[in-house]
């Protein structure tokens, strides 16, 4: 391609972890890692946009646009992206989160040029036909019904998030409020695409059986011609500290009561983040974890119980505790026992055995992800999003450095009784 010959290759640096990293002239960030164990490649495009970038009255637009990205361009018709990938033996999918929208294709390495062409084409030339938008609107509304409105856990989680956040858009459901989904216009979706689906707001990550310098040249030829656009607007809202407990009690057709507890906690920019990650594993990391062993196995109060911390969250988020009652158990009992486990974390250091088990679980999970080219690529993208892919090399060391006293201190600092958000789901006949 004559146009491609006029594009100079960006300055690229190969890091100690083997990643070839470069930023194209148009701002596109590219991370490439050779993995020659199998003749396959995982090619991923991560856009720095999710539900945190939405405005009131237009929630769900990021996820809606994810659906529309498969609806064709002037050169590739409706559904042709997925058909071409499948015809060439590949797999493709996408997801939208609070912080990002990610698209991936796992395919034979000798088909990589096809994927580069398809992804660059829809970044720049997406059709967004109003008729297709109207058709897909019903698909998204139905997805919301099955995943949230008809799912007791999803329904309660949405309620808790909405009252936990007063100012920050993390309080919006990723899939959007149904009233917004019915109202969003084609013009708004087009404007959202034009602002956020630009090369200077994207990361391309590829891991697999290729020569990194060759792939960088191919990406530069195809993506490099897409014009850089103005930087998307920053997310400005900062969530103020809670002034007291917040509580939601909802009734829903369900078999059993559910209890959620949530506290505002810092994200990975905080020195407390490794300890919070370890706490979530101590509480909910498998059958030997505290909540499962105590509430599910030993005392048989809960059908399931767990906790979760979003280490990679771009802004401060929530630390969750939850439990689903066994038949005959009350939500009051579950809430009391969950709070007792929180209080135990604040009062007593975890045992040496628990601490070492949790550290081993996190390190093993981290190591196992290296067995998959798809997961290797995803990890590189996630660390790049929070500050740089090189942070991946220090993650396990930070986890290993956490002490039992750190866990007790962090639980005391971030799980105060008067700052929690509580959600109770009561089954209705």
Catalytic residues: 66
CB–CB of 43/119 below 8 Å? Answer: yes
261, two tokens: 């507890």
Query: Which of 230, 7, 226, 228 has the alpha carbon at shortest distance from 117?
Result: 226
114, two tokens: 């096809």
Distance CA 253, CA 245 (A): 26
Distance CA 57, CA 63 (A): 14
Beta-carbon count within 10 A of 417 CB: 10
The values of phi and psi at residue 23, to 5°, are: -120, 120
CB–CB of 136/189 below 8 Å? Answer: no
Q: Which residues contact 61 (CB under 8 A, 6 or more apart)?
A: 54, 176, 180, 184, 188, 189, 192
The values of phi and psi at residue 261, to 5°, are: -120, 140
DSSP 163-192: HH-SSSGGGS-TT--HHHHHH--HHHHHHH
Burial class (CB in 10 A: 0-12, 13-18, 19+), 387: exposed
Identify any residues that bridge with 13 across adjacent strands, giving them in sequence order: 21
């Amino acid at each position: 391609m004559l146009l491609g010959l006029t594009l100079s290759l960006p300055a690229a640096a190969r890091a100690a972890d083997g990643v070839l990293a470069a930023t194209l002239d148009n701002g596109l960030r590219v991370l490439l890692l050779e993995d020659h164990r199998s003749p396959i490649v995982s090619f991923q495009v991560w856009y720095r946009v999710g539900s945190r970038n939405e405005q009131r009255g237009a929630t769900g637009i990021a996820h809606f646009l994810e659906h529309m990205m498969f609806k064709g361009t002037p050169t590739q018709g409706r559904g042709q992206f997925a058909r071409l990938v499948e015809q060439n033996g590949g797999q493709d999918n996408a997801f939208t989160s609070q912080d990002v929208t990610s698209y991936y294709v796992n395919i034979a390495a000798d088909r990589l040029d096809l994927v580069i062409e398809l992804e660059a084409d829809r970044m720049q030339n997406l059709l967004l036909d109003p008729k297709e938008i109207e058709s897909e609107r019903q698909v998204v509304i139905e997805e919301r019904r099955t995943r949230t409105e008809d799912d007791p856990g999803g329904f309660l989680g949405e309620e808790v998030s909405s009252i936990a956040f007063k100012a920050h858009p993390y309080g919006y459901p990723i899939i959007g409020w149904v009233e917004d989904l019915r109202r969003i216009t084609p013009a708004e979706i087009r404007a959202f695409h034009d602002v956020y689906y630009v090369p200077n707001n994207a990361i391309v990550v590829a891991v697999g059986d290729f020569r990194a310098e060759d792939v960088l040249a191919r990406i530069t030829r195809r993506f490099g011609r897409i014009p850089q656009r103005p930087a998307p607007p920053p997310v400005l809202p900062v969530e103020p500290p809670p002034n007291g407990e917040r509580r939601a009690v909802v009734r829903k057709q369900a078999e059993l009561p559910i209890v959620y507890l949530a506290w505002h906690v810092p994200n990975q920019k905080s020195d407390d983040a490794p300890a919070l990650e370890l706490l979530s594993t101590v509480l909910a990391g498998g059958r030997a974890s505290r909540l499962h062993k105590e509430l599910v196995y030993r005392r048989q109060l809960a059908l399931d119980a767990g906790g979760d911390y979003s280490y990679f969250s771009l802004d401060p988020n929530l630390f969750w505790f939850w439990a689903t009652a066994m038949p005959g158990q009350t939500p009051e009992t579950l809430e009391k026992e969950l709070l007792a486990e929180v209080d135990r974390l604040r009062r007593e250091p975890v045992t040496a055995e628990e601490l070492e088990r949790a550290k081993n679980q996190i390190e093993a999970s981290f190591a196992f992800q290296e067995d998959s080219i798809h997961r290797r690529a995803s990890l590189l993208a996630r660390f790049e999003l929070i500050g740089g892919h090189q942070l991946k090399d220090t993650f396990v060391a930070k986890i290993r450095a956490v002490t039992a006293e750190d866990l007790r201190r962090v639980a005391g600092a971030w799980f105060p009784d008067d700052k929690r958000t509580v959600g109770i789901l009561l089954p209705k006949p």
